[in-house]
A and B are shown apart, each in its own frame.
Chain A
Amino acid sequence: MTAPTSLLTPRRGTTGRHVRNRVATVGIWLALFIVLVPLVAVIGSVIVKGASSLSGNFLTQDINKITNGQKLADAFAKVAGKQSTQDGIKPAIVGTLLITGFATLMAVPLGILGGVYLNEYGGKNHFARVLRFLTEVMTGVPSIVMGLFIFSIVVVKTGFSLGWNVSGFAGSLALGCLMLPVVIRATEEMLKLVPNELREASYALGARKSKTIVSVVLPAAAAGIVSGALLAVARAAGETAPLVFVIGITRTTNTNIFSGGNVALSTEIFRNALSYGSYAAARNRAWGEALVLIVIALTFTLLARLVTAMFTRRRAA
């Protein structure tokens, strides 16, 4: 046996390790920096450009048509180096909340039930496999296709369509169809994580399957399901493509989502940025709307985190 060498003498083949470590560390920091650039740039520019629009009655007034007078005022303002005239986006805020809210009401309960079926009842049977496959396909459907689908079977007045004309509800249907597979998958994944021992413990006390699911399995998975659903809501709230040709348009707040055109923040951003792109008033309005939309989406995301944290803390206590 050889005498033990000092801990300070490097073992053979370890000298390159420090160099590799340094290179990897620098690489990782660099990667982080590169990822942060677009993130900071997007949020930063929206905040900087959007914040100036959030003045006065921006959040509480109806949308005004950008008139010739306004265009003129705009030009004057530009010459004077001042902010152009503003008006409100209240109809878009109300529309986004109502349309997303109704989509959530339809998609989340249905999605949770679907996830429960897949994990607790269907398992590996043929119907469940087909359902799971269709859910995956539905997740991959581009949002504009979902919009077209709703447009062709609900909105237009030809062929096999229901012909209900444009409405906020048509938008809710389109967003709901987008959210549904996400909620189903999230629910199934969360239920998979519930240990089977808990189900068995419940059965061993004389509980039936339905009772076990409602009283033991779903509460155990609640944190994950709720945060999954809220993330789906946050994503849906920002969707533009499925809404842009099914909800129509309005300049005044329309709280009846079942009839009449409606408007959402996302579609307003699209229209303002596109149609009136050359006018400062429209551009500013779009930036303001973008900021409001980001705040709404962020609220849902934070809510999701809060709910998860609440459940985890309660469990650990």
Chain B
Amino acid sequence: MHPTASQTDIVEPVTIDASSGRVENGIHLEVGDPEIFERDDPTRELVFDLERVQILYSGVAAVTDVNLDIASREVTAFIGPSGCGKTTVLRSLNRMHDTTPGAVVEGKILYHGEDLYGPKVDAAEVRRRIGMVFQKPNPFPKSIYDNVAYGPKINGRKRGDLDDLVEQALTRAALWDEVKDKLKRSALALSGGQQQRLCIARAIAVEPDVILMDEPCSALDPIATARIEDLMIELKREFTIVIVTHNMQQASRVADRTAFFTAELNESGKRMGLLVEYDTTNKIFTQPSDPRTEGYITGRFG
């Protein structure tokens, strides 16, 4: 079944000109929408390039055959039902799986053209450049100040510039005004939304290139969620952001590109995640080319 224009209630309908459509990376790209054209500029700077990525836990594939690229200073969203491997793929982007016994990443993940899993690559340096914000706010049981200063400190920043750095990071995470008078207080006394913004400030403080966010708003109320979403759009100017979310509205609000993952039974009857479709958010939500994507975004799961 091919999607029709009647399902385009989320975003403005896209003008389709089938005659001049082109095919790139197996994804059919429509011409006519200037926004899409701009982003699909072949000169756009790629941060990640995933080729045939498969991730296994104790020999069992959790997600397989993922091919996608992520461009600089864009927000890329991974959506899909639970167990489809979106978090698993996200965690492969900063080598977080290194710390999970039994997890193996196969295929190729290029980061600025370099093999992320190359033999000489230092995983700690990878994680300094590619920061992560987790599903549950996880501030250290330390003061607000020490939470933000921790990253710069371990990465060799002098004590002298720490005060400015902490203020900058908290300001960029839209938290400074709320905490400037209680920097020495425990971070655990903050509300959930504040804690998550503190975690974002902590990630920003080490001046990463990419920020990975694993369902950063799932534990937050709508107001705190809105603040984090605003923050993401703000941070997009300086950072490349990849976000995993269960919330499709969130993806449609913040993401430039969206990847839809799903879980299917393979030949041996095991559930396995796979990437169904990856395109501009506009396209995914208005003109999905795969019926499974359409089913998911319109609420008919499966």
Complex Cα distance A203/B203, Å?
A: 11
Main SS of chain A's interface residues?
A: helix
User: B155 and A206: CB pair below 8 A?
Assistant: yes
A123 CA / B99 CA spacing, docked (Å):
12
Would you call A40 an interface residue if the criterion is a C-beta within 8 Å of the partner chain's C-beta atoms?
A: no
Query: Do B127 and A206 touch (CB < 8 A)?
Result: yes
From A22-30, A89-97, A207-215, give the one contacting chain B. A207-215
Verify if A315 is at the interface (C-beta below 8 Å from B).
yes
Residues of chain A in range 181-228 having any CB-CB distance to chain B below 8 Å: 195, 197-208, 211, 215-216, 219-220
Give the segment of B4-12, B63-71, B138-146 that binds chain A: B138-146
Is residue B228 within 8 Å, beta carbon to beta carbon, of the partner chain? no
Q: Cα distance A200–B185 when bound, in Å? A: 23
Chain A residue numbers with a CB within 8 Å of B129 are 206
Say yes or no for A41: interface residue by CB 8 A criterion: no
A35 located at the interface, meaning its Cβ lies under 8 Å from any Cβ of chain B in the complex: no
Chain B min CB distance to A54 (Å): 43
By beta carbon, the residue of chain B nearest A196 is B99
Asked whether B47 is an interface residue with its Cβ less than 8 Å from the other chain, the reply is: no
With CB as the reference atom, state the residue of chain A lying closest to B136.
A197
Q: Is the CB of A205 within 8 A of B99?
A: no
Chain A interface size range: 20 to 34
Distance (whole angstroms) from the CB of B245 to the closest CB of chain A: 18
Which residues on the A side are within 8 Å of B138 (C-beta)? Answer: 195, 197-198, 200-201
> Which of A200, A202, A208, A220 is in CB contact (< 8 Å) with B141?
A220
CA–CA, A202 to B128, complex, Å? Answer: 10
Q: Are B186 and A200 in contact (CB under 8 A)?
A: no
Say which residue of B101, B128, B140, B150 sits within 8 Å of A220 (CB atoms). B140
**Contact A201 to B199, CB < 8 A, known contacts A206-B151, A207-B154, A220-B140:** yes
- Check: A32 CB closer than 8 A to any chain B CB: no
Q: Which of B124, B139, B185, B202 has the most CB of A within 10 A?
A: B124
Task: Contact check, A205 vs B151: say whether CB atoms are below 8 A apart.
Answer: yes
> Chain B interface: which size bin?
20 to 34
Q: Which residues of A contact B57 (CB under 8 A)?
A: none
Q: B293 near A: Cβ within 8 Å?
A: no
Contact residues in B for A211 (Cβ distance below 8 Å): 154
Q: Quick one: given A201-B199, A204-B96, are A317 and B128 in contact (CB under 8 Å)?
A: no
Contact yes or no, B127 A205, CB < 8 A: yes
**Is the Cβ of B101 less than 8 Å from the Cβ of A204?**
no
> Given that A195-B138, A220-B140 are contacting pairs, would A205 and B150 also be in contact in the complex, using a CB cutoff of 8 Å?
yes
Is A316 among interface residues, defined by CB-CB distance under 8 A? yes
**Could you say which of B129, B138, B185, B186 has the most chain A C-beta atoms within 10 Å of its C-beta?**
B138
Q: Which of chain B's residues have a CB closer than 8 A to the CB of A314?
A: 186
Which of A123, A201, A203 meets B140, CB within 8 Å? A201
A203 to B141, CA, bound (A): 16
Bound CA–CA A314/B94 (angstroms): 33
Inter-chain contact total with CB atoms closer than 8 Å: 76
Which residues of chain A come closer than 8 Å to B150, judged between CB atoms?
202, 205, 207, 215-216
Give chain A nearest CB distance to B140 CB in angstroms. 6
Q: Mark B147-163, 1 if CB is under 8 A from A, else 0.
A: 00011001100000000
Closest to A212 in B: B154
Please report the C-alpha to C-alpha distance between residue A215 and residue B142 in the assembled complex, in whole angstroms.
10
Q: How far is the CA of A207 from the CA of B154 in the complex (A)?
A: 7
Q: Which residue of A lies closest to B185 (CB)?
A: A317
B91 to chain A, nearest CB (A): 9
Which residues on the B side are within 8 Å of A198 (C-beta)? 138, 140-141
**Contact, CB under 8 Å: A203 / B186:** no
Is A200 within 8 A of B99, CB to CB? Answer: yes
Contact B189 A203 (CB under 8 A): no
* Contact indicator A205/B128 (Cβ below 8 Å): yes
B206 interface hit (Cβ, 8 Å): yes
Within 8 A of B (CB), among A282-305: none
A205 to B154, Cβ gap below 8 A? yes
**Complex Cα spacing A114 to B202, Å:** 31
- Counting CB contacts under 8 A, is B296 at the interface? no
- Residues of A near B206 (CB, < 8 A) are 205-206
Interface residues of B (CB under 8 A from A): 94, 96, 99, 101, 124-125, 127-129, 131-132, 134, 136, 138-142, 150-151, 154-155, 185-186, 188-189, 199, 202-203, 206
* A198-B140, A200-B138, A216-B150 given; 6 more Cβ-contact pairs under 8 Å: A200-B99, A203-B127, A205-B128, A206-B151, A211-B154, A317-B189
The 17 sampled A-B contact pairs (Cβ below 8 Å) are A198-B140, A200-B96, A200-B132, A201-B138, A201-B139, A204-B94, A204-B131, A205-B151, A205-B202, A205-B206, A206-B127, A206-B129, A206-B151, A208-B124, A219-B142, A316-B188, A316-B189
Query: What 7 A-B pairs have minimum CB-CB distances, sorted nearest first?
Result: A206-B128, A204-B132, A205-B151, A197-B138, A201-B138, A206-B127, A207-B154
